[in-house]
Amino acid sequence: MKTKIKICGLKTLEDIRMINKYPIDYVGFVFVESKRKVSKEQVRDMKKILSTKIKAVGVFVNTPYDEINDIVNYCGIDIVQMHGEESSEECEKIIVPVWKAISVQNKKDLIKAQRYKNVKGFLLDGVKAGSGISFEWSLVKEFSKNYFTILAGGLNSENVQQCIEIVNPHMVDVSSGVEKDGQKNEEKIKKFIRKVKKYEFKK
């Protein structure tokens, strides 16, 4: 299985122009209060110049489904990533595919995935999404056998190969791990991509 790459937390047109040069599969736009929050107007402008080979993911926390759908239509979002307490029924009301985020502290947390019957995948993160803090990957090493799995939380070029080896996720999601002084850094992005692709080729 080839591991896909998602770069999350893009904020500027310059970020998009940089990302377009590389074999990235998905980018994430954060619509919740954080240092990476962007407006729907910003995202619409970024989506206009995003490579058609790259899918756009909107990140939300406890946002009403009708508001999410309005943003999806306005910006041209391809996938919605939900990090709140959304029910399976609420996820089903979203007009594009949904990834449900699960914060993993122990194996019991993974039982939550069984509640969501129609989501297209699960993003497994640490205690707090977006914190850049990793978790014990061995807890989820069997998860990708049953579900489309996006692994996040504290990933960087130094540990992503180990993550892939243990979990075998369908996708790895990185944000702070490819930043320098709070901005996306091209050299770190290139190094991260090389580590993921090198692992694929070695397999």
| pLDDT score for 128 | 59
Catalytic residue among 8, 75, 91, 163: 8
The count of C-alpha atoms lying within 13 angstroms of the C-alpha of 116, restricted to the half-sphere facing its C-beta, is: 25
In a domain, 119, yes or no: yes
Alpha-carbon distance 30 to 157, whole Å?
A: 22
pLDDT at 133 over 70: no
Alpha-carbon distance 121 to 148, whole Å?
A: 5
Catalytic residue among 15, 91, 125, 163: 125
Alpha-carbon distance 56 to 122, whole Å?
A: 16
Quote the pTM value: 0.93
pLDDT-derived band at 135, boundaries 50, 70, 90: confident
The pLDDT of 22-31, averaged and rounded, is 97
| pLDDT score for 203 | 46
Is residue 125 among the annotated active site residues?
yes
Is residue 163 among the annotated active site residues?
no
| pLDDT score for 105 | 87
- Looking at residue 37, what DSSP letter applies? B
Residues spanned by the domain of 185:
4-198
Q: How many domains does the chain have?
A: 1
CATH number of domain containing 175: 3.20.20.70
Question: Among the listed ranges 24-28, 64-68, 142-146, which one has the minimum average pLDDT value?
Answer: 142-146
